[in-house]
């Protein structure tokens, strides 16, 4: 099958590759670029494990062909750390609040939560739950994921994080 040359920016670096028209963006990221932080779960737009940030929006990368991402600016979970390599507030939140168990959903959760906090730096618990409703976690029951995002929100805002009484 004829291949198409695509170029895009991923985590700040210009990348390129030859892809078939049917190549999904998540496969391009994982197989052509070797960035396996972005996970594949359902491949049917349901689970959110493959979420990446594209031009300021959370996108399930199994939903998009690589050719459709031509010229895009993409951030994957590999691009979530601070510029100096330290953990971002969100990464730290997931660590401190035990926001993961098996970790399969975690890259998609962190990338999605990153955009959520960009759009709404101080979300309510309800807004967090709604904001991550496109991302499924089989392990945690979501409670500690919500706390992880609340931790990050507090840190970004420069206030001390206090867990709500249960
Ligand atoms: Fe893309 Fe599940 S793998 S939404
Ligand atoms: Fe296992 Fe979320 S931590 S699926």
65-101 confidence digits (pLDDT tens): 999 999 999 999 999 999 999 999 999 999 999 999 9
What pLDDT does 165 receive?
62
Under CATH, to which class is 4-79 assigned?
alpha beta
> Best of 42, 58, 77, 112 to mutate for ligand 1, by most ligand atoms within 8 A of CB?
42
Average pLDDT over residues 14-30: 98
- Spatial strand order in the sheet of 57-60: 13-19, 4-10, 73-75, 51-54, 57-60
Alpha carbon nearest to ligand 2 atom 1, residue:
102
User: Looking at this predicted complex, what is its ipTM?
Assistant: 0.98
Burial of 67 from C-beta contacts in 10 A (0-12 / 13-18 / 19+): middle
pTM over 0.90: yes
Domain ranges of the chain: 4-79, 89-156
How much of the chain, in percent, has pLDDT values that exceed 90? 95
Domain 89-156: which topology?
DNA polymerase; domain 1 (1.10.150)
């Amino acid at each position: 099958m004829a291949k198409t040359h695509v170029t895009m920016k991923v985590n700040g670096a210009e990348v390129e590759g030859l892809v078939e028209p049917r190549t999904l963006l998540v496969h391009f990221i994982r197989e052509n670029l070797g960035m396996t932080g972005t996970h594949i779960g359902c491949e049917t737009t349901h689970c959110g494990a493959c979420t990446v940030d594209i031009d300021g929006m959370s996108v399930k990368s199994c939903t998009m062909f690589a050719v459709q991402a031509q010229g895009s600016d993409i951030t994957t979970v590999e691009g979530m750390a601070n510029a100096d390599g330290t953990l971002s507030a969100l990464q730290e939140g997931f660590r401190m609040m035990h926001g993961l168990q098996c970790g399969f959903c975690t890259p998609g959760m962190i990338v999605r939560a990153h955009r959520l906090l960009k759009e709404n730096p101080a979300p309510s618990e309800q807004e967090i739950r709604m904001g991550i409703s496109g991302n499924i976690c089989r392990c945690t029951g979501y409670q500690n994921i919500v706390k992880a995002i609340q931790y990050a929100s507090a840190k970004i805002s420069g206030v001390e994080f206090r867990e709500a009484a249960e």
